[in-house]
Amino acid sequence: MNYSWLAKMAWRDSRKNRNRLFLFMSSIILGIAALVAINSFGNNMQSEIEGEAKGLLGADLEVESNEPFSEDILQFFDSLGAEQSREVNFASMVLFPESGGTRLVQVRALEGRFPYYGSIETEPAGAGQSFREEQQAIVDRTLLLQFNATPGDSIKVGEVTFGIRAAVTKVPGQANITSSVAPPVFIPMRYLEESGLLQKGSRLEHVLYLKFEDGTDLATLFEETIEPRLEEAELRYDTVEERKEEIGDTYEDLTGFLNLVAFVALLLGCIGVASSVHIYVREKLVSVAILRCLGGKGLQGLSIYLIQITAIGFIGSVLGATLGAVVQYFLPQLFAGFLPVEVSVEISWPAILQGILTGVLISVLFALLPLLSIRRVSPLSALRRSYENKERDPLRYLIFGGIILFVALFAWLQLEEIDEALVFTGGIVLAFLILAGIAQLMIWLVRRYFPAGWSYIWRQSLSNLYRPNNQTLVLVITIGLGTALISTLFFVQGLLLQKIELTDSEGQPNMVVFDIQTEQVEEVAALTKEFGLPLIQEVPVVTMRLHGINGRSAEAIKDDTTSDIRNWVLRREYRVTYRDSLISSEEIVEGKWRGRVDSPQDSIFISLERDLAEDMKVGLGDKVTFNVQGAIMDTYVGSIREVDWERVQTNFLVLFPAGVLEQAPKFHVLITRVDSAATSARYQQALVNKFPNASVIDLKLILKTVDEIVGKVSFVIRFMAFFSIITGIVVLIGSVIISKYQRIQESVLLRTLGASRNQILQINALEYFFLGSLASLTGVLMAVTGSWALAEFYFDTPFSPPVWPVLISYLAITALTMLVGLSNSRSVLNRPPLEILRNEA
Amino acid sequence: MSDILEVKGLSKIYRSGERSLTVLDHINFKVQAGETCSIIGPSGSGKTTLLGLCAGLDRSSSGSVILNGQSLEQLNEDERAEVRNQHVGFIFQSFNLMPTLTALENVMVPLELRGEKDAAKRAMTLLEKVGLADRRNHYPTQLSGGEQQRVSIARAFSNRPKILFADEPTGNLDQETGAHIEELIFELNREGGTTLVLVTHDQELAEKTGRILQIKGGKLVYDSLTDTAIQTR
């Protein structure tokens, strides 16, 4: 084939249609922009994580344990010449004496020079190390803001009052958002004993940070010496490499997900391309037929237009990539609070290259669907205009296959899981099919039940929905999917919050006081009553570990590689309660509940939660042995329960009957309900003052935190979904302009026949009203169905679609469609018919 | 002289579901190289279909067309396109210029399809011959009907065709312009020694050709060469 001639023809042919070709291009710009922005951002973050790897952990190695480290281990690390820092952290209440405010925080008692890499950043700066020299604490900035406290004020942790040295703005390896759940308060380790909080026993986490001398071959040392020793001591640990991978994976998942959202916008744009090219090709059929008459081959005709589309796809992708590189600059603000590292914005060439390649490939694939028909244009069409080759080209199916394969491959690249990629691809195909199906159904319904009795203007605008070359299908898909995406996000956010709010409804408990010592139980109860608050539940909690199952020790099971008993079951610390009856959130599904053991000789029949029993591979009658703080105790599975974990009350995996654990060391949990914020504050203050070891979980605070996090997450996702909506609108503008050529003939004819400007305006307005309504209704309908399914099957909560958001989405999208449609058909209305015919012919 | 076109037992039947419509029914004739011949007949008689089949634009239902010694039935679509590009010129009733190309570029297309190097020069010569050299950079929409048809004639002769097919070449033009176009076609035809097959229902134009074939209801009913009505089955 003569390629230079083909290129020349593509160029010549494009001269008179360049504006329209640029329209196709505009459909993909936003999708590519979103893709490139997210990818660039992801790449920058990965390289940042790579560069700051050691700063993410703050040390070469981190070792964790629920118990204090044994002398053996400490000496072992001494012998390796490692510098050590220690930390003990736990959840506890703090009190701000100046304001009287109290809150549950994460107390981190530090000793040593940790962090060795990176730093705890503070305001004023430099306090990350120096606070350890005096009786001072550094406190999460948001927490300070919340209680209106500033450096120089004081904070009471347990029995000790510290001066607040500075506000903490950044902790190595931690995203700011994690601190809204449990804001960190750092104190020097040497005041820990004095605080009286060490009695929290097993609820403390001990951490050892190690730094080895520069030049140490860490990989070898770790693999040959350290790892075996830590495994033997059953200690958890994290190396720089592991931490880097964990954080990297998390954010790769995040950017992968957002990439798919961006990809959806691109796909929508491509549907726009396919539909525009479809109309474009129809207009080119005669030219192609002439070319064939003159001896041009089928492939030559196809190639001319393929070259045009590829070039346009390329230019569109380059423009999109450029826009994406700009959008990228706003992403760090968008993700503020989510990132463990500060991401500097740089041009990421791999992301740009990938974006351009994706854009060209996918737009060409989609454009090929309508382009294929060029191959089979009969030269006879030049002689007879009405001649149409009606055969379906089998190559179409190959192209469809190609598109689906491309989508699946792209998803796989982003998600790195073939199953998830297939689900994504299937979901996209299904959504497209549903939207296309609804559009076709509507078209069919309009034709079938056409309101013949309506006035001409209504009939004309309705029939425009199914006229030849109509854009109904493509607009319903693009605008509908965009609307569906945004509305679903909105509904799901509402669902999540509604679910939490439900638990806060009238009479339900909303405050949990835990870590109460046995001797404090009565006093705490009395204090609660003093405030006029109900004692909804008071529950003793005993901690224990699993010792064995059916006579085999937990150790042996752990070492047995053939055992399918899940590891978490063997390793975890069980918090267990005992009582003689069941509570409302529990239901026996197997066996029988025996509430009391009367004599020490009797067998103990416990009740297990269903999932635990499954993972433990035990059934009724099996023997489960526990180590209750030193005492070995055999029990038998007497019943299996289903537990509703979602209510604010104490629920347990393992439930003992009364009469067994009464004498074991334990702590207590008290559940109550506080209605006013003021009472809640005073109650917590009194509690913390009197019982510094007790902690309070306030549902209102959790509600606020979840709202904040969900709000932030959904803002990010909505930002991405916005690209889809805008793409839908660009496609709308494109198809309105393209179909304008067709409408002009018709409008001019109408005007020639005596239609007034107003009548034509009404026909157009009504047509776009129908189109917009159809698209947005379909989208909202999909969102409502999807959200209902999520509510019913996933969140297990009743769902009633919010009326106002549904109405607003519908009205806004419909109005927008009408606006775009009408503003583009203005030229038809404002000029004399003959002038238009001359200009547009 | 040798035959450039031979039509043997040519039929075209369109089928739509159970119904079938016979548009051409066992047509037989030969055209010698250099001959000028017109196909006449009333609207819907099958003239244009016959022209399309002779030029290999469509496939027959039965029978064969041998163009320049090659049986078109045995060629695929692209091979027939090749034959057209090498040996055939076309003039259409509605001019059929490519709207996105200038006059000059339109004339160049057949030459460029053959990969000829001096396409622009040859095209320019032809435009001069049809008197449109100064309009070479105009697009079809900027030309009058007569001018468009002159460009189309220049294009038809650009590849030095052995046979020229013309479908109602003056059908869309007024009488005066039509007369000029006719002159131009015959003049260029004589110059190049090209065979001319034209479809028309203009009796005057038909009589300017050396031979008249008349079609009626899909059947060839008269051939002026033998000057007799043709016996059909």
At how many degrees (to 10) do helices A395-415 and A349-375 cross?
170
Say whether B96 and A17 touch across the interface (CB within 8 A).
no
Say whether B115 and A297 touch across the interface (CB within 8 A).
no
pLDDT in tens, A80-95: 888 889 999 988 889 9
- The pLDDT assigned to B233 comes to 41
Mapping DSSP to helix (H, G, I), strand (E, B) and coil, where does residue A507 land? coil
Say whether A297 and B97 touch across the interface (CB within 8 A).
no
How many angstroms away from the CA of A761 is the closest CA of chain B?
Answer: 30
Question: What is the overall mean pLDDT for chain A?
Answer: 83
Band (pLDDT 50/70/90 cuts) for residue A207 is very high
Q: What is the largest CA-CA distance in chain A?
A: 107
How many angstroms away from the CA of B47 is the closest CA of chain A?
Answer: 11
B109 contacts in chain A (CB < 8 Å): 291, 294, 296
A291 contacts in chain B (CB < 8 Å): 98, 109, 113
pLDDT in tens, A578-595: 998 888 888 899 999 988
A299 contacts in chain B (CB < 8 Å): 78
Sorted by sequence, the CB contacts under 8 Å of residue A735 that are 6+ apart come out as A272, A275, A276, A471, A474, A475
Chain B contact for A17 (CB, 8 A cutoff) = yes
- Which residues of A, range 69-128, sit inside 8 Å of B by Cβ? none
Residue for token pair 């003052």: A689
How many angstroms away from the CA of A292 is the closest CA of chain B?
Answer: 6
Listed as own residue / partner, the contacts of A535-538 with beta carbons closer than 8 Å and 24 or more positions apart are A535/A670, A535/A671, A535/A672, A536/A509, A536/A649, A536/A671, A536/A672, A536/A673, A537/A509, A537/A583, A537/A649, A537/A650, A537/A669, A537/A670, A537/A671, A538/A668, A538/A669, A538/A670, A538/A671
pLDDT in tens, A23-76: 778 888 888 998 898 888 888 888 888 777 788 888 888 898 888 888 888 888
- The pLDDT assigned to A834 comes to 60
Say whether A382 and B57 touch across the interface (CB within 8 A).
yes
- The pLDDT assigned to B151 comes to 94
- The pLDDT assigned to A264 comes to 79
CA distance A124 to A128: 10
What value does the mean pLDDT take over residues B66-85? 89
- Is the pLDDT assigned to residue A390 strictly greater than 70? no
Band (pLDDT 50/70/90 cuts) for residue A215 is confident
**Residue A768: closest CA among A737, A736, A790:** A736
Q: Which residue among B58, B100, B113 places its CB closest to the CB of A295? A: B113
Chain B contact for A294 (CB, 8 A cutoff) = yes
CA distance A253 to B212: 79
The answer to whether the CB of A282 falls within 8 A of the CB of A469 is yes
Sheet holding B163-167, edge to edge: B88-91, B163-167, B195-200, B36-40, B211-216, B219-223, B228-229
Say whether B113 and A299 touch across the interface (CB within 8 A).
no
Note if the bond before A124 is cis, omega within 30 degrees. yes
How many angstroms away from the CA of B136 is the closest CA of chain A?
Answer: 14
- Is the pLDDT assigned to residue A254 strictly greater than 80? no
Q: Which residue among A2, A13, A382 places its CB closest to the CB of B100? A: A13
As given in the structure block, the two tokens for residue A647 are 């209510």
How many angstroms away from the CA of B139 is the closest CA of chain A?
Answer: 10
DSSP string, A728-757: HHHHHHHHHHHHHHHHHHHHHHHHHTT--H
- The pLDDT assigned to A648 comes to 61
Residue for token pair 């067309």: B65
Sorted by sequence, the CB contacts under 8 Å of residue B80 that are 6+ apart come out as B56, B72
- The pLDDT assigned to A177 comes to 64
Sorted by sequence, the CB contacts under 8 Å of residue A382 that are 6+ apart come out as A286, A289, A290, A292, A293, B57, B90, B92, B96
CA distance B147 to B181: 9
**Residue A114: closest CA among A126, A125, A128:** A128
pLDDT in tens, B33-57: 999 999 999 888 888 889 989 988 8
Give me the amino acid identity at A515: D
Q: Which CATH number fits domain B3-229: 3.40.50.300, 3.30.43.10, 3.30.1490.100, 3.40.50.1980?
A: 3.40.50.300
Mapping DSSP to helix (H, G, I), strand (E, B) and coil, where does residue A162 land? strand
Higher pLDDT, B73 or A729: B73
Say whether A383 and B48 touch across the interface (CB within 8 A).
yes
- Is the pLDDT assigned to residue A707 strictly greater than 80? no
pLDDT in tens, A452-505: 788 888 888 888 888 776 778 877 887 787 788 777 777 777 777 676 666 666
Preferred mutation among A14, A290, A304, A391 to probe B, highest tally of B CBs within 10 A: A290
Preferred mutation among A283, A293, A385 to probe B, highest tally of B CBs within 10 A: A293
B115 contacts in chain A (CB < 8 Å): 2, 5
What value does the mean pLDDT take over residues A783-802? 79
- Which residues of A, range 455-494, sit inside 8 Å of B by Cβ? none
Chain A contact for B200 (CB, 8 A cutoff) = no
- Which residues of A, range 355-414, sit inside 8 Å of B by Cβ? 378-380, 382-384
Sorted by sequence, the CB contacts under 8 Å of residue A330 that are 6+ apart come out as none
A8 contacts in chain B (CB < 8 Å): 112
- The pLDDT assigned to A841 comes to 44
CA distance A675 to A691: 22
The answer to whether the CB of B172 falls within 8 A of the CB of B135 is no
pLDDT in tens, B140-180: 888 988 999 999 999 999 989 999 999 999 888 888 888 88
Lowest mean pLDDT among A341-345, B80-84, B186-190: A341-345
* Residue A167 zone, left/alpha/beta (φ > 0; ψ -120 to 50; rest): beta
Dihedral sign, Cα of residue A823, residue A828, residue A830, residue A831: positive
What value does the mean pLDDT take over residues A649-658? 87
Say whether A295 and B55 touch across the interface (CB within 8 A).
no
Chain A contact for B115 (CB, 8 A cutoff) = yes
CA distance B36 to B92: 17
Chain A contact for B103 (CB, 8 A cutoff) = no
Q: In the 8-state DSSP scheme, what is residue A151?
A: B
- Is the pLDDT assigned to residue A430 strictly greater than 90? no
Higher pLDDT, A208 or A260: A208
CA distance A37 to A331: 8
Say whether B78 and A297 touch across the interface (CB within 8 A).
yes
- The pLDDT assigned to A828 comes to 66
What value does the mean pLDDT take over residues A364-388? 80
Say whether A5 and B112 touch across the interface (CB within 8 A).
yes
Say whether A15 and B100 touch across the interface (CB within 8 A).
yes
As given in the structure block, the two tokens for residue A64 are 């964790």
Sorted by sequence, the CB contacts under 8 Å of residue B200 that are 6+ apart come out as B38, B39, B40, B168, B169, B170, B171, B206
How many angstroms away from the CA of B84 is the closest CA of chain A?
Answer: 5
- The pLDDT assigned to A239 comes to 86
- The pLDDT assigned to B232 comes to 47
* Residue A532 zone, left/alpha/beta (φ > 0; ψ -120 to 50; rest): left
CA distance B127 to B51: 26
B171 contacts in chain A (CB < 8 Å): none
- The pLDDT assigned to A31 comes to 87
Q: How far is CA A112 from the centre of its chain?
A: 38
Q: Bridge-partner residues for A542, per DSSP? A: A576
Q: In the 8-state DSSP scheme, what is residue A564?
A: -
CA distance B107 to B143: 14
The answer to whether the CB of A383 falls within 8 A of the CB of B167 is yes
Dihedral sign, Cα of residue A509, residue A513, residue A519, residue A525: negative
Chain A contact for B53 (CB, 8 A cutoff) = no
pLDDT in tens, A123-164: 888 888 888 888 999 999 888 888 889 999 999 998 899 999
Band (pLDDT 50/70/90 cuts) for residue A318 is very high
Instruction: Compute how many other C-beta atoms are within 10 angstroms of the C-beta atom of residue A414.
Output: 25
What value does the mean pLDDT take over residues A311-338? 87
Chain A residue nearest residue B112, CA to CA: A5
- The pLDDT assigned to A835 comes to 59
B100 contacts in chain A (CB < 8 Å): 12-17, 287
Mapping DSSP to helix (H, G, I), strand (E, B) and coil, where does residue A265 land? helix
B159 contacts in chain A (CB < 8 Å): 295
Within 13 Å and on the Cβ side, how many CA atoms surround A48? 21
Band (pLDDT 50/70/90 cuts) for residue A740 is low
Mapping DSSP to helix (H, G, I), strand (E, B) and coil, where does residue B45 land? coil
* Residue A507 zone, left/alpha/beta (φ > 0; ψ -120 to 50; rest): left
Chain B contact for A5 (CB, 8 A cutoff) = yes
Band (pLDDT 50/70/90 cuts) for residue A317 is very high
Say whether A296 and B85 touch across the interface (CB within 8 A).
yes
Say whether A378 and B58 touch across the interface (CB within 8 A).
yes
Mapping DSSP to helix (H, G, I), strand (E, B) and coil, where does residue A157 land? strand
B105 contacts in chain A (CB < 8 Å): 12
Whole-number percent of chain A with pLDDT over 90: 17
Residue for token pair 């017109």: B38
- Is the pLDDT assigned to residue A386 strictly greater than 80? no
The answer to whether the CB of A33 falls within 8 A of the CB of A320 is yes
How many angstroms away from the CA of B140 is the closest CA of chain A?
Answer: 11
Q: Which residue among B78, B84, B105 places its CB closest to the CB of A294? A: B84
Sorted by sequence, the CB contacts under 8 Å of residue A380 that are 6+ apart come out as A289, A387, B52, B57, B58
Q: Which residue among A295, A384, A841 places its CB closest to the CB of B82? A: A295
Alpha helices in A331-417 (DSSP H): 331-334, 349-375, 380-383, 395-415
**Torsions phi, psi of B183, nearest 5?**
-55, -45
Band (pLDDT 50/70/90 cuts) for residue A726 is confident
CA distance A238 to A230: 11
List Cα–Cα distances, A765 to A455, A460, A748, in angstroms. Answer: 15, 11, 17
Q: Where are the domains of chain B?
A: 3-229
The answer to whether the CB of B195 falls within 8 A of the CB of B34 is yes
How many angstroms away from the CA of B186 is the closest CA of chain A?
Answer: 20
Q: Which residue among B109, B139, B141 places its CB closest to the CB of A291? A: B109
How many contacts, defined by CB atoms under 8 Å, are there between A and B?
A: 86
Preferred mutation among A11, A287, A291, A294 to probe B, highest tally of B CBs within 10 A: A294
- Is the pLDDT assigned to residue A307 strictly greater than 90? yes
DSSP string, B121-137: HHHHHHHHHTT-GGGTT
- Is the pLDDT assigned to residue A680 strictly greater than 60? yes
H or E element that contains B51: helix B47-54
Say whether B77 and A298 touch across the interface (CB within 8 A).
yes
